[in-house]
Amino acid sequence: MPFATARTLALSGAMGHLIDVQADVSPGQVATVLVGRPDPSLNESRDRCRMAILNSGLDWPSSRRTTILLSPADLPKRGTHYDLAIAVAVLGATGVVPAAALGDVVLIGELTLAGGLRSVPGVLPMVMAAGQRGFRHVVVPEPQAHEASMVPGMNVLGLRSLAQVVAELRDEPVPEAPPVAAMSSTRLLSWRGAGRIDEVDLADLVGMEDTRYAVEVAAAGGHHLLLSGPKGCGKTSIAERIPGLLPDLTREEALELTAVHSLAGALEPGDGLLTRPPFAAPHHDASTSSLVGGGSGNVRPGEISRAHCGVLLLDEFPLFRADVINALRQPLESGDISVARAEESVVLPARSIVVLAANPCPCGDFHADASIDRCKCREVQRRDYRRKVTGPITDRIDITRHLRGVTPTASRDPLAVRESSATVRARVAAARERQAERYRGEPWRLNGHVPGPALAERWPLSPAATDLVDDQLWKGRLTRRGVTRVQRLAWTVADLAGVDRPGTAEADIALRLRSGAPLLAATLTREAG
């Protein structure tokens, strides 16, 4: 039969498209043509495939016209993982492998001239997409079999060479082949701080009871957080400890996150499923595309997607460029980010807890407490700076906290209880379980993600609490968006306290968290003991 179809996948953002690679080998002007919007790097695939087939001891149809179509033909295609499917399709067309064997298997991998199978980025999301399309068999390069087998119910075949693939498809004994290299990148540098985030604990910090409670709420309900305060008051320290308060990812979340990292090519060999919430803290020089995703060629997930299900800290956030800050609006609201390019628009998940940290002024020394104010900025500078802090972004932030510097009094208090991250994590996990129970069957998991209308209609606050919140709206102290944020916060406060429905006490705490007003000390008695 001069015609065969093999299956592989194309990725655009977090979308996986099933690609039929069709090869037709028939008489005509001798040539090999590749159609279906391949990009230039994919055109090189013809040469790799031809040499790989020849060097595997098989025949390339060199006396006939070979047409290879990547369909659907309108989708732009990039990358080197099509090699295996192209080679196998050609071999199917020449009858080397039975065309019928290609029907239910997805082929992923790059070929070497010797016929070896090399690793490619993005295997996990591709296999996930294949699984969702009902495929149960997938062939991947041997080093990536582990990554592919994270997808439940998938029959993964990790092979070393084209010859092995052919033998497997023909149901013949699989020949030996030299092992292939894993993804070529290895970490050249390892630095002392690499595992630091796993080491830090909430118990290291003294005082800051107000902020401790705020991060507990943020962790429990997935709420965004703004921390402001003079430099050195512990904004970064406490933000770094939020990932430690989050429970392990669910299997579903872990797959999403690992898939994003696989897309970014950031999955290091030996990394299994990522089960701990990630932490990303891009520098304030970061470009928009590095933060939200983009880049030339394939759209690579940005830092905000790599922090999916975890914590994204923007330290010194007023120093970020204005366009970068504005690009954050969408992910803050919807939990995903769409990156529009000339030819395509991709949507990537970006549902992290965003923590903004800001100094009170450019020099960082301004303090409302006159006795320790050492600010040297001019009033104009301070005003410009504050304008960046308050704006459309901060309206999308659920919790605002103003930190005071920790005084020696706090660290010398003999009765201070310093809770460890594990203690708080247990409460966060319990609160998250209550949310999971309540939102069973809904597409959202946490209070911070519940759409406003659904919240108002199906999970309203108690009537008295609603009055309290509406009162703030009347007085102009809250926006409509702010009301929704306060309702979400009130639910999280109730979940942490084990209260079935938020009442006025919970609403009051939520209003304080939102407005930056100091909390009632009674809220924190657990810690103050």
Partner 1 sequence: MTDDRLARLALSKLGEPGSLKMAGLVAELGAESLHAQLLAGGGSEALRDDVASRLEDCDAERDLDRAARLGIRWVVPGDDEWPASLDDLDTSDPLQGMGRAPLGVWVRGPLRLDQLPSPVAVVGSRSATTYGTDVAAELSAGLVRSGSAVVSGAAFGIDQAAHRGALAGGGPTVAVLACGVDRAYPSAHRPLLDHLAECGAVVSELAPGCAPTRLRFLARNRLIAALTRGTVVVEAAVRSGALNTASWAGRLNRPLMGVPGPVTSAPSEGVHQLIRSGAATLVTRAADVLELTGSMGEHLAEPPRATPRPRDWLTRAQQQVLEAVPLARPAASDSIARTAGLGLIQVRSTLDGLARRGLVEQLPTGWRLAEAADQG
Binding footprint of partner 1 on the chain (CB under 8 A): 209-210, 370-371, 404, 407-416, 517-522, 524-525, 528-529
Which tokens belong to 329?
């609006």
Cα–Cα distance for residue pair 521/473, rounded to 1 Å? 25
* 14 or 511: CB nearest partner 1: 511
* 77 or 404: CB nearest partner 1: 404
Give the DSSP H/E element, type plus range, for residue 91. helix 83-93
**CA-based end-to-end distance of the chain:** 80
Residue found under tokens 């770094």: 240
Cα–Cα distance for residue pair 100/107, rounded to 1 Å? 14
Provide the minimum distance between the beta carbon of 486 and partner 1 in the complex, in angstroms, as a whole number: 17
Provide the minimum distance between the beta carbon of 394 and partner 1 in the complex, in angstroms, as a whole number: 19
- Chain centroid to CA 430: how far? 24
Is residue 488 within 8 A of residue 448, CB to CB? The reply is yes
Provide the minimum distance between the beta carbon of 210 and partner 1 in the complex, in angstroms, as a whole number: 4
Residues 6+ apart with CB under 8 A from 359: 228, 229, 230, 231, 316, 318, 366
Provide the minimum distance between the beta carbon of 434 and partner 1 in the complex, in angstroms, as a whole number: 24
Provide the minimum distance between the beta carbon of 129 and partner 1 in the complex, in angstroms, as a whole number: 49
* 28 or 518: CB nearest partner 1: 518
Is residue 238 within 8 A of residue 227, CB to CB? The reply is yes
* 441 or 529: CB nearest partner 1: 529
Phi/psi class of residue 444: alpha, beta or left (left: φ > 0; alpha: ψ in -120 to 50)?
Answer: beta
Residue found under tokens 């319990």: 430
* 340 or 528: CB nearest partner 1: 528
Cα–Cα distance for residue pair 152/155, rounded to 1 Å? 9
* 410 or 499: CB nearest partner 1: 410
Provide the minimum distance between the beta carbon of 519 and partner 1 in the complex, in angstroms, as a whole number: 5
* 145 or 499: CB nearest partner 1: 499
Provide the minimum distance between the beta carbon of 213 and partner 1 in the complex, in angstroms, as a whole number: 9
Sequence letter at residue 102 = L
* 185 or 525: CB nearest partner 1: 525
Which tokens belong to 167?
């033998």
- Rounded to 5 degrees, what are φ and ψ at 116? -80, 160
Provide the minimum distance between the beta carbon of 518 and partner 1 in the complex, in angstroms, as a whole number: 4
Residues 6+ apart with CB under 8 A from 32: 46, 50, 65, 66, 68
